Amino acid sequence: MTNFNMIDRNENLPGYFSSSWPVECGGNRRQKSYQGSLNAKGSYPKVQTLSSDKWNVMVIKREKGEYFLGGTMPYFFGPEPYGWLQKFNPISLETLAESPKLPCGGHVWCGAIAAHQNGNIIKVNGNFMHSLSANCELLEEKKLPKDRAHNGLLVLSDGSIVTKDCRLENQGNSFITRLNPDTLELIDEPFPLPEGSMGRIASELNNLGEFIYVPGIEKILKIKVNKTSLELDESWAPKYRSINGSQGLAWDGCISDGNIWIMDNGDIQSVRDIYGEEPNGRFDEFKSLSWRSPAPWKGKQRLIKIDLLTEELDFIEPFQKEGGGIIAPPVNIPESKICIAWDSINGSIAGIDTSQNSLKVSWLKNFRPTMQPVVFPESNELVINHYENGEDHIIVLDLTNGELLSKVGLDSRLANGMFLTPGDNRDIFYCSTGAFSRISWS
């Protein structure tokens, strides 16, 4: 029998450096869960925020106490954009080492970093892949064949690296590119998908094999990983969206409890503007790119659950307002029988009860999240952002009932869909454009 209930935080993640958080979301299934607890209730958090002109994207961990921050420059017009990597002190946030400017092909998009089992840090940004040492020295550089922004990377169980270019509806088909981790040379020609794809890829490894799941324009696609090639599994391609203008595209999926969980309505107006330019995100002059702009569709925000075996699909619209929208994916927590969904444009977050055959709202709160959260299942804590009155905040909610356990402002004026990362000392690292923070409850 196939086990679809694997928990990434309890596993040794093959292909990665032996670490508790070597890649965004803590693993290829994007479960965003971490061992231990913050015990945030009744403990007022301390905040350190560094302000800069950088687009801070994500933090990953290599050795114990060894943290890296990756990002790009938000030069949507004017100076030539570039990517960068920093090694930093996890207590003081002092920069310990920094990479040279890393080319991105002129594309302005967030990209990703990961700690590989070979000891190096792998970074994708725009249409370039880089390999860097633990001291942020550039080792290898590869210009990717597809001249589009690439929005994420995963390391597969054999150590090879996969990434995907970003495309919206009517922008052609996306491709998955697979590379050798030591040389960054292509293992095979880029694999053509039958649809374009906006969201980041996730993957599942079990006794049936290794599979990559891709959110497409209409369907969720399943790609079988072979030794030197990729193969489309045409027997599993559930349709989550009809092209009728009422719902938007899906961001990343969360593989959990035998299902893949997604939210649609992700190609908000600012994302359409960025992907509509060549290079992506480069404009002749200043352009407002606020995620607060009205949604380009009328549909309510949906949470969608799809069975990994049967393709059975269920969805729920937890929020009453039309024109919902998000810039980050949901998270399912099987230990709590709760899936977390939100509507960033209209401002609401919900805990969805997954204990029965059909999805139902367990709790609903008037917070406005935008980013990739972290969950602590052992203590039933959800950590996510909340944007209000022109400032971003970190909040901690009880997973079972939505109770606010902790809230603190960050002195961050911009919220986006970036990543939270758990630290070793009851702390969380926060990334956004112009601000990088450590929040600690110790």
pLDDT at site 442: 81
3: pLDDT strictly greater than 80:
no
Q: Specify the amino acid at residue 308.
A: L
Per-residue confidence band for 243, with pLDDT thresholds at 50, 70 and 90: confident
Question: Contact, 204 vs 29, CB < 8 A?
Answer: yes
Burial readout 305-325 (b: 16 or more C-beta within 10 A, e: otherwise): bbebeeeeeeebbbbeeebbb
The helix/strand/coil state of 55 is strand
State the chain's mean pLDDT as an integer: 96
pLDDT tens column, 198-215: 999 999 999 999 999 999
9: pLDDT strictly greater than 70:
yes
**Residue partners of 380: CB distance under 8 A and separation at least 6:** 336, 398, 399, 400
pLDDT, average across residues 77-100: 98
pLDDT at site 333: 98
2: pLDDT strictly greater than 70:
no
pLDDT at site 1: 55
- Cα→Cα distances 122→142, 433, 437, Å: 11, 21, 23
Of 163, 168, 160, the closest CA to residue 104 belongs to: 163
Measure the CA dihedral 363/368/370/373, to 10°.
-40
Query: Beta 254-256 vs 95-98: how paired, if at all?
Result: unpaired
pLDDT at site 365: 98
pLDDT at site 4: 76
pTM: 0.97
pLDDT tens column, 367-392: 999 999 999 999 999 999 999 999 99
Percent of the chain's residues with pLDDT above 70: 99
Per-residue confidence band for 238, with pLDDT thresholds at 50, 70 and 90: very high
pLDDT tens column, 117-138: 999 999 999 999 999 999 999 9
Query: What are the boundaries of each domain within the chain?
Result: 16-440
The helix/strand/coil state of 8 is helix
The strand order across the sheet containing 259-263 reads: 254-256, 259-263, 303-307, 313-316
pLDDT, average across residues 181-199: 98
pLDDT at site 114: 98
Per CATH, the number for 16-440 is: 2.140.10.10
Q: Specify the amino acid at residue 258.
A: G
162: pLDDT strictly greater than 60:
yes
- The one-character DSSP state at 416 is -
pLDDT, average across residues 77-97: 98
